[in-house]
Chain A
Amino acid sequence: MERRPGEQAAGEPADCGAGGGEGGDDEPPQGAGAQAARPEARLTLLLRLRAQTKQQLLEYKSMVDASKYFHFQISFYDKIEDLEKEVEEVKTAFEMKKLALDRMQLSIALQKNLEKIDPKTSVLMDNMKHVLKLNKLIMKSHQESWDLEEKLLDVRKKRLELKQSSENKLLEIQTEKNKQKDDLANMENSNKIKAMQRNLKMEIQITTVIQNVFQNLILGSKANWAEDPTLKEIVLQLEKNLATI
């Protein structure tokens, strides 16, 4: 797409006398006053043109100088970055120096001013005192906020410690419980208990047999054991099932 829809050329010089050197395409509104203004306007125009051509000559010269370096064809990006860094450094150095210079000038002017004026009544002194007051307030409130932050930190530390110790305790409790469970299980499985249980069983069986023998003795003697209280007691005692005790 290479159409060019419009080409506008506009010649609208702002100062009305600028084009008037050729004898007026633009008609100056005032009559005789403009005649006197025109040579001055011509002079300014000429001076401006001189400045312009100087600047343009400078540009062309610098381009010509720069084009001598273009033959080298080294990587441009690095070079550009280096040059830009240099420019930035010089700029910042300049800014710093300017700042320092301004400060020195300001302080000297201030000094001279103070020497001139009666120090007690000037507005400057009031301002400075106010500034000092505010600074003190600022420092105090900074200190307070710092202290509060310290306290907050301490409280948080303590909380953390407490949490940790409670964690430890709970862990201990858990291990103890587990130990107990293990011990219990061990005990139940131990051999001693098994032997004891076997013995107990044996004894119970023996006593049950003895019980039955005595019962059968008393029954077989055909004595009436229900009437005699001592016999009754013995028989009933023999009925106790020892396995369930």
Chain B
Amino acid sequence: MSVLRPLDKQPGLNTATILLVGTEDALLQQLADAMLKEDCASELKIHLARSLPLPSDVNRPRIDLIMFVVNLHSKYSLQNVEESLRHVDATFFLGKVGFLAMGAGQESHCSIHRNTVTKLANTYRSPLFFCDLEREGFRATVAQRLVRMLQICAGHVPGVSALNLLSLLRSSENPAPEDL
């Protein structure tokens, strides 16, 4: 199972699973804790991974949402994410993938330009969020957003699907098709 496919397993009852992929372990852990603190009617399962592909010997539930976390201060995290993107099936990108860029606040430390990440998100037609994961208030906000997104991607919100959400998120942010 070297490639992640979105709908290859039965969904768990009342369960929503998110996979956070990124090199910053401590911050991912804190984000996961913040997400768990959020009010949510369904059960949340959070998987953390440094990079894909995930080891195939473990029995894991169906993954509903993948968030790739890129640290704008280190080029290595961008490389890591780009490597991992190859192991994700194309059908995942219909709304079940998102990019989270952190560290955009300190311009002097940024070694990756914002445009690089924006282009990456545009190529994969996925939403891009900017967040400063080190401040607790912002982390809580992003956690809330992720939890809502996760609920929609897992199908727990009747009437809204992941694809719907994708086109809703797109209209305000990026005029992506013209660039391509």
Residue positions of A touching B, CB distance < 8 A: 1-15, 18, 45, 48-49, 51-52, 54-56, 58-60, 62-63, 77, 80-81, 84, 87-88, 91
Contacts and interface: CB of A to CB of B under 8 A. Distances in A.
Nearest to B80: A1
Interface stretch (B66-74, B105-113, B130-138, B154-162): B154-162
A51 B155 CA distance: 9
Main secondary structure of the interface of A (DSSP, over half): helix
A51 B29 CA distance: 31
A139 B23 CA distance: 60
Interface residues of B, number: 42
B155 A12 contact: no
Given A2-B55, A4-B54, A49-B14, A87 B41 contact: no
B49 interface: yes
B7 A13 contact: no
A55 B156 contact: yes
Given A52-B13, A59-B162, 20 more contacts: A1-B50, A2-B53, A4-B48, A4-B55, A5-B48, A6-B29, A7-B48, A8-B48, A10-B44, A10-B46, A11-B43, A12-B43, A45-B14, A48-B14, A51-B158, A52-B155, A52-B158, A54-B158, A56-B11, A58-B161
A17 to B, nearest CB: 12
Contacts, number: 94
B167 A84 contact: yes
Contact of B41 (A1, A14, A58): A14
Nearest to B13: A49
B96 to A, nearest CB: 10
Q: Which DSSP category, helix, strand, loop or mixed, fits chain B's interface?
A: loop
Nearest to B158: A51
B80 to A, nearest CB: 8
Nearest to A55: B155
A136 to B, nearest CB: 37
Of listed A4, A7, A52, A62, residue having the most chain B CB within 10 A = A52
A48 B41 contact: yes
B45 interface: yes
A111 B157 CA distance: 40
B167 to A, nearest CB: 6
A155 to B, nearest CB: 43
